[in-house]
Amino acid sequence: MGVVDNSRKSINRGKTVATFCMGKKSTYSYLDDNPSFDFRTIEYTNDPIVIAQHENMVAINSALEIDLTGQATAESIGKMFYSGVGGQADFMRGAIQARNGKTILTIQSTARGESVSRIVPFLSEGCGVTMIRGDIQYVVSEYGIAYLHGKNIRERAMELIAIAHPKFRPWLIEEAKKLNLIYKDQAFMPGNKGEYPEELETNRTTKTGMQITLRPVKISDETPIKDFFYSLSDQSLYRRFISTRRDMPHERLQEFVVIDYSQEMVILATTGSEGQEKVVGIGQYGIGQDVHSAEVAFAVRDSDQNRGIGTELLNYLIYLGKRKGLLAFTAEVLYENRPMLAVFDKEGFKIVSSGGGVYYLKLNL
């Protein structure tokens, strides 16, 4: 398992194809007259048409700098050159044309002892654009993964800001506002309390066998959350928010994506991979004036109800509440919302009072 033997290649099956090699004498002795290796000219190895013939091709490259629109350089910082073009653009373009291909750009978030950010508002004047924004799908730093393919400039900027070094994120937000890359009123939670808790991502299987991912909300999640809310029926909206207001402008969406993770939590239940990810449920809790308890709520996309998503969301929120050291969860459920009441009842919530068509529930953690 995990051994590269070239047996699943689309072309040149069974062979390792390269154009040059550097090593010790023993390396050259191993390669000499070895039928498993095929050395070809760069015109062949770096030809995007040849690269694109490899199904599931993944091109992984690094960069010196990337800007908030997604264009990157591996050659120079401003007018100072560090390298040539190389084969990065060839492999990125070939991989993106391959069937099920992927392009991944890795980058350290900072340089010069964390004194400068490698994720910048725009590439410096005189900088060579090695990889154009249309060829980059994934960008990976120490602080997460940004998926850029098919996203508009605002979404790209927010994705990249989210994986920048935390101390540079406020600066990037302000610069992006000045450059009209993001909303002028874009909110931001600075410091550790706004840092995405990647360790809370988990995969679950519901009672009906549905595979879902549960993860905290990200500052770049406005669009998928908007799609989720617009998918809800009037009945689902009313049962969750006691309102049938259907508009979900940027101002309202920020309340869900810009949060203080130390005081509240929004968990998304999603299906699909990056680029095809769909939000099928949202659960949240918020700590009130009583710092030992929090109010909890959840909603599930109409087309995915009765599949166990609500149960998994609530169960995970209870786990996170206990992990946080909370002593109790409270909830409000409309009399008519029997399905949601059943989920709360299953998890041990008790009705403590009622009135005005609403049950008031509590669970001691």
CATH code, 54 = 3.40.1080.20
pLDDT for res 342:
92
Q: Does 14 map to a domain?
A: yes
pLDDT at residue number 237: 82
322: CB partners within 8 A, 6+ apart: 365
User: Which pLDDT does position 2 carry in this prediction?
Assistant: 67
Distance CA 247, CA 231 (A): 12
Number of structural domains (the chain) is 3
Do residue 180 and residue 88 come from a single domain?
A: yes
Query: Of 161, 186, 211, which closes a domain?
Result: 186
Residue 281 lies in a domain: yes
Any domain includes 144: yes
Looking at residue 246, its pLDDT comes to 72
Helix, strand or coil for residue 203? Answer: strand
- Phi/psi region, residue 12 (left: phi>0; alpha: psi -120 to 50; beta: rest), is left
> Which class for 289: exposed (0-12), middle (13-18), buried (19 or more C-beta within 10 A)?
exposed
Same domain (yes/no): 61, 180: yes
Contact 74, 86 (CB under 8 A): yes
* Residue 250, domain member (yes or no): yes
- Please name the residue that has the structure tokens 């049962």: 239
Q: Is residue 192 part of a domain?
A: no
- Domain end point (choices 154, 186, 218): 186
Asked whether residue 65 falls in the same domain as residue 152, the answer is: yes
The answer to the question of residue 318 being in a domain is yes
Tell me the whole-structure pTM to 2 decimals: 0.85
Q: How far is Cα 322 from Cα 90, in angstroms, rounded to an integer?
A: 50
Residue 107 is part of which domain span? 46-186
Low-confidence ranges of the chain (pLDDT < 70): 1-2, 242-245
Domain boundary at 186, 206, 234, which?
186
pLDDT tens string 254-295: 989 999 999 999 999 999 877 778 999 999 999 987 778 999
- Residue 10 contacts by C-beta under 8 Å, 6 or more apart in sequence? 53, 54, 55
